[in-house]
Structure 1
Amino acid sequence: MDNAIIAGAVGGILGTVLTIIWNYINIFVSNKVTRQREFDKWLLSERHKASVEILKVVALDPNGEELDKWTNQLRDASVRLQLLYPSGCAPEPLKSTLEEIFQFAKKKKQGIQSDNWKSDFKDFTTKLRCELAKSLSN
């Protein structure tokens, strides 16, 4: 056999093996990157949904029997939103605003709200909207 033929055959086989190895590496790396990107998109989408949900609950301003369920709905929506963050808690400004809203609603439920409760609650709601927007843009 001629050395050129053997070298060509070895080179062809080596090229094929390297191509197969490269393709496997490329498939695994691109799948991992795609999976992370899709997860991040899903997480952002779920945060948007949870933010809208908590704002709907805050906007209820119920009376009577609905008032008893309101604080539970607020806490439930707050927990669902906070679970979508890596540590299981929302970033500090958002977390404290959620707690302020809950405590403010709890005062109304207990009947110890102030005379200008609606105005103060509107301010808290505006603050919550701003904090939600900030947390979604990060």
Structure 2
Amino acid sequence: MDKLEKPLESWREELSDAQFHVCRLGGTERAFTGEYYATKTPGIYHCACCGEALFDSDAKYDSGSGWPSYFQPVGKDVIAEREDFSHGMHRIEVRCARCDAHLGHVFPDGPRPTGLRYCINSVSLKLEPR
């Protein structure tokens, strides 16, 4: 996978204000407000910044958190993880491995088969229906 790097100003010009805030500045959308938190449409969720395929709807489930949740990405190499100590908590941040967009966080309280909950901001995704 080729890394995609652009200056912050280029991202600012290409993305909506909400996408820029979440994906490039590490923000978070409010729970239960995102376009995809309750979507059941079959398809592949891509990075809103670079188009990389990230999550399959077959791995999506309702976690009750208010954000789209998945128990696994489409492949191990599409997600990068970082320790996040912001807001007085220790979490694992997930980013797009191709363009470094902030997506959300992963938690160890998900369903089988992985036991993981990838809690992802809708604004960082673009659904391509099947």
Q: TM-score w.r.t. structure 2 length?
A: 0.24
Choose between structure 1 and 2: higher strand proportion.
2
Tell me which structure has the larger Cα radius of gyration: 1
Using CA pairs under 8 Å that are at least 6 residues apart, name the structure with larger relative contact order, 1 or 2: 2
